[in-house]
A and B are shown apart, each in its own frame.
Chain A
Amino acid sequence: GAVVSQHPSRVICKSGTSVKIECRSLDFQATTMFWYRQFPKKSLMLMATSNEGSKATYEQGVEKDKFLINHASLTLSTLTVTSAHPEDSSFYICSATTGGPYEQYFGPGTRLTVT
Chain B
Amino acid sequence: AQRVTQPEKLLSVFKGAPVELKCNYSYSGSPELFWYVQYSRQRLQLLLRHISRESIKGFTADLNKGETSFHLKKPFAQEEDSAMYYCALTGANNLFFGTGTRLTVIP
Q: How far is the CB of A78 from the nearest CB of chain B, in Å?
A: 18
**By the criterion of a CB under 8 Å from any partner CB, how many residues of chain A are at the interface?**
20
Contact partner of B97 (CB less than 8 A), chosen from A44, A100, A108, is A44
The interface residues of chain A, by DSSP majority, are classed as loop
Contact of A101 with B43 in the complex, beta carbons under 8 Å = no
**Closest chain A residue to B93 by CB distance?**
A101
Q: Specify which chain B residues have a CB less than 8 angstroms from the CB of A95 in the assembled complex.
A: 44
Q: Does B94 contact A (CB under 8 A)?
A: yes
Known contacts A43-B4, A101-B93; A106/B43 CB under 8 A? yes
A34 in contact with B43 given A43-B4, A102-B32, A102-B49 (CB within 8 Å) = no
Q: How large is the interface on B (under 10, 10 to 19, 20 to 34, 35 or more residues)?
A: 20 to 34
B43 near A44: Cβ-Cβ < 8 Å: no
Number of interchain pairs (Cβ within 8 Å):
44
**In the complex, which residues of chain B have a beta carbon less than 8 angstroms from the beta carbon of A102?**
32, 34, 49, 90
Question: Given known contacts A101-B90, A102-B32, A102-B90, is B97 in contact with A43 (CB within 8 Å)?
Answer: yes
A93 touches B99 (CB 8 A): no
Q: Is B56 an interface residue (CB 8 A)?
A: no
Whose C-beta in chain B lies nearest to the C-beta of A32? Answer: B93
Q: Is B35 an interface residue (CB 8 A)?
A: no
Contact A43 B98 (CB under 8 A): yes
Are the CB atoms of B93 and A49 closer together than 8 Å?
yes
Contact, CB under 8 Å: A4 / B93: no
Give B38's nearest chain A residue, CB to CB. Answer: A106
CB pair A106–B45 under 8 Å, yes or no, is yes
**Chain B's nearest CB lies how many Å from the CB of A4?**
7
By the criterion CB–CB under 8 Å, are B95 and A46 in contact?
Answer: yes
Q: Complex: how many Å from CA A34 to CA B98?
A: 17
Contact B43 A43 (CB under 8 A): no
Asked if residues B32 and A4 are in contact (CB atoms below 8 Å), the reply is no
Contact with A along B1-16 (1 / 0, CB 8 A): 0001000010000000
B contact set with A: CB distance below 8 Å: 4, 9, 32, 34, 36, 42-46, 49, 86, 90-91, 93-100
Interface residues in chain A, defined as those with a beta carbon under 8 Å from any beta carbon in chain B? 4, 34, 36, 41-44, 46, 49, 93, 95, 100-104, 106-109
